[in-house]
Structure 1
Amino acid sequence: GPANLVREHLAHHPALRTLQWTSPAFDVSVQEIFTTLAAGAALVLIDDEVRHDPAAVTAAVRDHGVQRVFMPCTPLKYLMETDPVTPSLREVFSAGEALELTPAFRRFLAAHPECALFNQYGPTETSVIVASHRVRVGEGARPPIGTPVRGARIQLLDPDGRLVPVGAVGEIHVGGTPVAYGYHARPEETAGRFLTDPSGGLLYRTG
């Protein structure tokens, strides 16, 4: 699972100096830390005082030549509303909640054409990230979550476990390499979320 995440990231993204913004208690820290170290790049460490201050984050990015940042939409939105000038940034990743492309995001992307914004999706139970999408300035306010990463399968199923037609509402189920085996010592919860995949392995019901 996590090893697949790192391999997939290294296949599509360069080695970049990365701000270690995410708390180790949050699953994205696995992506943030290990994709950076596996590429031979540097992690720039900050404390909580800096982490929760958009101006201090901007200063850290500039002072240390940070090239990549991972943040959920809400703190990233607060950062963008300060109209940060960060010429070293090359990639910004948002995951953990739905990304809303506000005017501040559009201003930032227009002012930093060399920086790419990625909207990503994935529950902890599927090794952090299973879909990724590069956001364009002219997109709608709610960018898509993108296409599955290598090794992952994403299906939209109805309550009876059948694929829904295009345009219909369904529940996201994830299969393939990223899916965990279940919850430790919680068999009932595991049975309710981790289903047998007809094509082999397990399907995770995201809810």
Structure 2
Amino acid sequence: LAVAGPGDHRDPAILVSLIQRYQVTTLHFVPSMLQVFLLDENVAQCTRLTRIVCSGEALPVDAQQQVFAKLPNAGLFNLYGPTEAAIDVTHWTCREEGKTSVPIGQPIANLTTYILDAELQPVPAGVIGELYLGGEGLARGYHRRPALTAERFMTSPFGDGQRLYRTGDLASYRPDGVIEYR
């Protein structure tokens, strides 16, 4: 494990140097920091990188393309998950698809996702709806905020007794079941 010094994450040249010195193989960035990192002229020298994980923001297609071009040996992974559902809920292994957005993928183990319409009914592939989450990583609610908890956490409309979290995020399913963030 190599940890950059305070503030060093803001300087791509320092990160490139640390990655090379410590032979770092895996990085975890928010997409905006990945974009800053990719601006360094020496980023392609980070040949030991095999895995770049992004979460915390939507991953732009341009950043994905830059990783593919500048770091061809590194796999790029896009994760999605609000704090209310532990850390990450969905996973996507990025690949060249010629799309205008990077998918957020499919749920990880012990978590569920639903894209529902205003009547809390599942939407078909290609139709935009609101993303709901359920499963083992779901929070119980907001500390000392019962009204907000009641607004965002609900019993599943499917009669299975599961609790769901209403993310407020819009998404759609592709025909292959992969979720795209809208």
Q: TM-score range by the shorter chain?
A: 0.7 to 0.9
**Structure 1 contact 110–137 (Cα < 8 Å) conserved:** no
**Structure 1 contact 65–88 (Cα < 8 Å) conserved:** yes
Q: 2:29 aligns with which of 71, 76, 81?
A: 71
Q: Which amino acid aligns with 1:202?
A: R
Indicate the residue corresponding to 1:126 in structure 2. 85
**Structure 1 contact 73–95 (Cα < 8 Å) conserved:** yes
Indicate the residue corresponding to 2:7 in structure 1. 49
For structure 1, the 5+ residue unaligned runs are 1-42
Q: 1:101 aligns with which of 47, 53, 61?
A: 61
Report the Cα distance in structure 1 between the residues aligned to 2:115 and 2:103, rounded to whole angstroms. 15
For structure 2, the 5+ residue unaligned runs are 169-182
* Sequence identity (%): 33
Indicate the residue corresponding to 2:172 in structure 1. none
**After superposition, where does 1:112-151 map in structure 2 within 5 Å?**
112-151=71-110
Q: CA deviation at 1:48?
A: 2.4
Q: CA deviation at 1:180?
A: 0.9
Q: Structure 2-normalised TM-score?
A: 0.83
Report the Cα distance in structure 2 between the residues aligned to 1:56 and 1:141, rounded to whole angstroms. 32
The 3 A distance-change label for structure 1 pair 168 and 105 is closer
Report the Cα distance in structure 2 between the residues aligned to 1:137 and 1:194, rounded to whole angstroms. 36
Residue 44 of structure 1 aligns to a residue whose secondary structure is coil
The 3 A distance-change label for structure 1 pair 204 and 117 is same
More helix per residue: 1
RMSD: 1.6
Report the Cα distance in structure 1 between the residues aligned to 2:38 and 2:96, rounded to whole angstroms. 14
Report the Cα distance in structure 2 between the residues aligned to 1:88 and 1:201, rounded to whole angstroms. 43
Aligned residues: 164
Indicate the residue corresponding to 1:91 in structure 2. 51
The 3 A distance-change label for structure 1 pair 61 and 141 is farther
Indicate the residue corresponding to 1:31 in structure 2. none
